[in-house]
Amino acid sequence: MTANVLSVRDMVVTFDDFVALDHVSVDVATGESFGIVGESGSGKSTLLRAVAGLNTFSAGTLSINGQSYSGRSRSKDFYRTVQMVFQDPYGSLHPRQTVDRLLLEPLAIHGFDNVDQRIMRALDEVGLGSGFRFRYSHQLSGGQRQRVAIARALILEPKVLLLDEPTSALDASIQAEILNLLEQARKDRGLTFVMVSHDLGVISHMCERLAVMKSGKVVETVTADALESRAFSADYTRQLMTASEGFRRV
Amino acid sequence: MTDKLLTVEDLRVSFPTRTGEVQAVRGVSFTLGRERLGIVGESGSGKSQTGRAIMGLTPKHAKITAKTLNFAGRDLLAISDRERREIRGKRIAMVLQDPKYSLNPVSTIGRQIIETLKTHERISTAEAKARTLAMLEAVQIRDPERVFSLYPHEVSGGMGQRVMIAMMLICGPELLIADEPTSALDVTVQLEVLGILDKLVAERGMGLIFVSHDLRLVSSFCDRVLVMYAGRVVEELPSADLSKAQHPYTQGLLNCLPTIGTDRHPLPVLDRKKEWAL
Amino acid sequence: MSAVQLNEKPYSREWLLSEQPTSRHQARLGRAYVIWRRFSANRLALAGLGIILLLILVAIFADVLAPHNPVQGDLRNARLLPPGTAGYLLGTDDQGRDILSRLIHGSRLTLFVVVLVAIIAAPVGLIIGTVSGYAGGWIDAVLMRITDIFLAFPKLVLALALVAALGPGIENAVLAIAVTSWPPYARIARAETMTFRNSEFISAVKLMGASPFRIILRHVMPLCLSSLIVRVTLDMAGIILTAAGLGFLGLGAQPPLPEWGAMIASGRRFILDQWWVAAMPGAAILIVSLGFNLLGDGLRDALDPKEAGQ
């Protein structure tokens, strides 16, 4: 029985009067790839950001590796364990910093040694050669930027990777490359993934289990296999499945 | 039956930049009757610029040339600005991607639609309002009176896109260019909006150019598909024959998408060949 | 380990514009070069830069360039001579001092005022603005109300009050002007900070465990710098005029210092018959202000973050 590396119980997040998360509970086992699917306003990104400490939650509990966290305060240990890849490759890299500087920052904050070696290795791992090391982010394509974002997330050697729609802003062919890269990284490092997306195809490809969210609540949690064999119960899940199959002239 | 509405031959669009000339569209040719044509490509393929060149929305400093760019008998490259303004909206219309950015945020929805009408037709405000309300109903907005006096930020994305469609179709154009009309919408809302578009285009016998990055969506919605890469058309085929695509880029595009049910680890990745960009 | 060939000659144009820089140094120089190219495409901006460089050179070599003593004149023979008189290119004032020499030495004072005010006011405004914008909440409210208090005073009035309290003199004038100049910089820095505060690259750095201090210093401030540089440059014309105003009122530089504003003040009496005593320093102020304005405009176009991506 693998312990749960991430456990969320009855989490509530409100922004003024708007309830973004309404008593949401989610468990992710160590080494698992867990997906969260929903449309805009479902609260999927809010959940991820609350886990990361970027949003406060007003009620409920959060525990990572047995350690409890509340509000926005997270320990340095947390940041060594949990890292995040954001959605927008054009917004998640500092516009005035080179790739080298971007990768240096987490290492400097946590006092790592062998900085040069680590940076080179990180770039290699995401398929970017050393020629990219001193480029600025505006000199990189969307796919290259997302690779840098992944390198940055992995350079601290976390155990859990939170992925907020990592390929939504990318072209289909680039998406395939990035998804492959993520899968390879997961295999090599034994990572736990918590991936958020609106695309059922991407989630069912990358994840073993998934939660379907709507309007701040978890509608149901199914395995990817169950999704494929249409063995789900909720109406909304069925709606999402139909929608993902494309347009059909009535 | 399908009299040629639009004829494009060897369309080229290029932009002068500090580091040389960037050729966005390099010799695109196709014809369009009263049918639906999809133009599919990734970012940088030139698909949006093609649509904008037909509409006359390319920035002034760009260079547009074509052997033929003919809409219903008029040469779109030779007409004056005034004539182009008359055609735009009245005979060719364009629906853009995100209603958040394509609708005027400081004007109510009703006023914007009336403005479109009055630009092209000499009618009274009362009559314009009546037609606006009728059009809002035609795009399946349940309470048109209420939506009439709302501002764009007060409606959801799906409704905003329906308003955009209403605004663009109200003058009864013959050709509609839709540039990623559903890409900014949620998946379930996408199908609703596409259904409305489908119905209206069929009812009015319009020609439709559907520009998108989503090959599967386009092929399920359109009769014919043009696949663009690096400014050129690499393949043109009827939607029904999509599975028999010849060009490796089209095949690659079809194969690289993760779908429910197909289990390929790793996903087949597009191997971009230099010859495609020549 | 991929081998990157250095086929460009170091520091050549191709090296600077290389798409694959091989060191931090090269990347930074390359970026500076791109900005310079954008700046130098604007001829007016280059003219502005030229004027300012001239000002700096004149100030540095004042002792060598000035033909006569700026503070001691020939009372007996050279009072109020018109421009073009032999040896006195721009004429002399009522104390027989060569106006050209006074202008040349006065450039030092002008530069002194402008640089000192910029050095004092800009960092203060930057720090207050970024902290205020990033922290939000009551810190923001308190800092902004303090800023409002300083903004509420007309510059010249507050400067007058300070100088009256501290005593006349150019150092006090500089202090007084600096004290009234920082609020707009704080406002600009705050506005810029607030646009970036919730962006994903800041969230990413927070998620690495960076302290707010580190985030502000290393991530937010560099982004505010371009707007601030442009604003400070454009303000310099105003600073010169305020210093001139204080000098005109006798509260800035004290005689016999050849401060341009004070020169205009003392030349006022002769403006009808010996116009050059007031007009020459006035023209100098005009040219230098124009230079700073052109330079600031050029910098704004060159540093515009929207274009910085190309």
3-class DSSP state of B240: helix
Q: Do A172 and B253 touch (CB under 8 A)?
A: yes
- Please state the φ and ψ torsions of residue C133, each to the nearest 5 degrees: -70, -35
Count residue pairs from A and C with Cβ separation < 8 A. 89
Within a domain: B97: no
Within a domain: B198: no
Burial grade of C303 (CB within 10 A; 0-12, 13-18, 19 or more): middle
Contact of A199 with A172, CB cutoff 8 Å: no
B183 shares a domain with B129: no
Last residue of a domain, one of B172, B197, B232: B172
B278 touches chain A (CB under 8 A): no
Q: At what angle do helices B187-204 and A235-244 cross, to 10 degrees?
A: 50
User: Computed from CA positions of residues C202, C205, C209, C213, in that sequence, does the dihedral angle turn out positive or negative?
Assistant: negative
Q: Which residue has the tokens 């009256």?
A: C164
Within a domain: B199: no
C20 touches chain A (CB under 8 A): yes
Residue A135, pLDDT > 80, answer: yes
B183 shares a domain with B68: yes
Can you give the residue range of the structural domain that contains B146? 102-172
3-class DSSP state of A154: helix
Given the DSSP bridges, would you call strands A160-164 and A82-85 parallel, antiparallel or unpaired?
parallel
Q: At what angle do helices C276-303 and C43-60 cross, to 10 degrees?
A: 130
B210 shares a domain with B164: no
How far apart are alpha carbons A52 and C203 in whole angstroms?
10
Residues 6+ apart with CB under 8 A from C61: none
DSSP state of B184: T
Contact of A126 with A148, CB cutoff 8 Å: yes
What share of chain A has pLDDT > 90, as a percent? 62
Average the pLDDT over A231-249 and give the result: 84
CATH code given to domain A4-244: 3.40.50.300
3-class DSSP state of B194: helix
Instruction: List chain C residues with CB under 8 Å of A54.
Output: 203, 206-207
The pLDDT averaged over each successive group of 10 residues in chain C (310 residues) is 56 79 84 87 92 93 88 84 85 88 91 92 96 94 94 82 83 88 94 92 92 93 90 88 81 83 86 90 91 90 59
Q: What is the count of structural domains for chain B?
A: 2
How far apart are alpha carbons C309 and A44 in whole angstroms?
32
Residue A50, pLDDT > 60, answer: yes
pLDDT band at A2 (very low <50, low <70, confident <90, very high): low
Count of all residues that appear for chain C in the document: 310
Q: At what angle do helices C221-248 and C155-166 cross, to 10 degrees?
A: 70
B53 shares a domain with B180: yes
How far apart are alpha carbons B101 and A4 in whole angstroms?
43
Q: What is the pLDDT of residues B193-235, one digit of tens each?
A: 999 998 998 999 999 999 998 888 888 889 999 999 999 999 9
Q: How far is A126 from chain C (nearest CA, A)?
A: 14
How far apart are alpha carbons B205 and A59 in whole angstroms?
56
In chain B, residues 29-58 whose CB comes closer than 8 Å to chain A: 42-43
Question: Most A CBs within 10 Å: which of B197, B208, B214, B267, as the mutation test of the A interface?
Answer: B267
Res B3: pLDDT: 67
How does the average pLDDT of chain B come out, rounded? 89
B140 shares a domain with B260: no
Count residue pairs from A and B with Cβ separation < 8 A. 88
Within a domain: B162: yes
Res A1: pLDDT: 42
Q: What is the pLDDT of residues B62-110, one digit of tens each?
A: 999 999 899 988 888 888 888 888 888 889 999 998 888 889 999 999 9
Given the DSSP bridges, would you call strands A82-85 and B74-75 parallel, antiparallel or unpaired?
unpaired
The CA-CA-CA angle for residues B174, B178, B181, to 5°, reads: 140
Single-letter code of the amino acid located at C95: Q
B265 touches chain A (CB under 8 A): yes
Res C1: pLDDT: 39
Q: What is the pLDDT of residues A68-93, one digit of tens each?
A: 898 788 888 899 999 999 998 889 99
Q: Which fold has domain C96-310?
A: MetI-like fold (1.10.3720)
| A174, A176, A204: residue with CB nearest B260 | A204
B73 shares a domain with B15: yes
Residues 6+ apart with CB under 8 A from B160: B99, B100, B103, B152
What share of chain A has pLDDT > 70, as a percent? 99
Last residue of a domain, one of B172, B196, B219: B172
Residue B18, pLDDT > 80, answer: no
How far apart are alpha carbons A57 and A15 in whole angstroms?
10
Contact of B74 with B113, CB cutoff 8 Å: no
Provide the token pair at C52.
């300012």
DSSP state of A98: B
A6 touches chain C (CB under 8 A): no
B49 shares a domain with B1: yes
Instruction: List chain A residues with CB under 8 Å of B198.
Output: 247, 249
Q: Do B258 and A177 touch (CB under 8 A)?
A: no
Q: How far is C127 from chain A (nearest CA, A)?
A: 19
A111 touches chain C (CB under 8 A): no
Instruction: List chain B residues with CB under 8 Å of A227.
Output: 260
How far apart are alpha carbons C241 and C292 in whole angstroms?
12
The secondary structure of chain C, three-state, reads CCCCCCCCCCCCHHHHCCCCCCCHHHHHHHHHHHHHHHHHCCHHHHHHHHHHHHHHHHHHCHHHHCCCCCCCCCCCCCCCCCCCECCECCCECCCCCEHHHHHHHHHHHHHHHHHHHHHHHHHHHHHHHHHHHHHCHHHHHHHHHHHHHHHHCCHHHHHHHHHHHHCCCHHHHHHHHHHHHHHHHHHHHHHHHHHHCCCHHHHHHHCCCCCHHHHHHHHHHHHHHHHHHHHHHHHHHHHHHHHHHHHHCCCCCCCCCCCHHHHHHHHHHHCCCCCHHHHHHHHHHHHHHHHHHHHHHHHHHHHCCCCCCC
Question: Most C CBs within 10 Å: which of A94, A123, A135, as the mutation test of the C interface?
Answer: A94
How does the average pLDDT of chain A come out, rounded? 90
B120 shares a domain with B86: no
B7 shares a domain with B70: yes
Instruction: List chain A residues with CB under 8 Å of B247.
Output: none
B212 shares a domain with B78: yes
How far apart are alpha carbons A83 and C207 in whole angstroms?
7
Q: Do B187 and A227 touch (CB under 8 A)?
A: no
How far apart are alpha carbons C80 and C74 in whole angstroms?
10
Calculated CA dihedral for residues B199, B201, B204, B205, nearest 10 degrees: -120
Q: What is the pLDDT of residues A189-238, one digit of tens each?
A: 999 999 999 888 899 999 999 999 999 999 999 998 888 888 888 889 98
Domain map of chain A by residue range? 4-244
What CATH number is attached to the domain comprising B82?
3.40.50.300
Is the omega angle on the peptide bond into residue B248 within 30 degrees of 0, that is, cis?
no
Using CA atoms, how far residue B122 sits from B41, B119, B167, B172, in Å, is 40, 8, 17, 15
pLDDT band at B29 (very low <50, low <70, confident <90, very high): very high
Single-letter code of the amino acid located at A48: L
B18 touches chain A (CB under 8 A): no
User: Computed from CA positions of residues C16, C19, C25, C31, in that sequence, does the dihedral angle turn out positive or negative?
Assistant: positive
Within a domain: B193: no
Last residue of a domain, one of B149, B172, B195: B172
What share of chain B has pLDDT > 70, as a percent? 99
Res C306: pLDDT: 53
Within a domain: B217: yes
Instruction: List chain A residues with CB under 8 Å of C31.
Output: 136
The partner residues of A38 in beta bridges, in order of sequence, read A213
B11 shares a domain with B40: yes
Contact of B133 with B148, CB cutoff 8 Å: yes
Residue A23, pLDDT > 90, answer: yes
Q: What is the pLDDT of residues B248-274, one digit of tens each?
A: 999 988 888 888 877 888 888 888 888
Res C309: pLDDT: 40
pTM, rounded to two decimals? 0.86
User: Computed from CA positions of residues C169, C175, C178, C179, in that sequence, does the dihedral angle turn out positive or negative?
Assistant: negative
DSSP state of B100: H
B150 shares a domain with B254: no
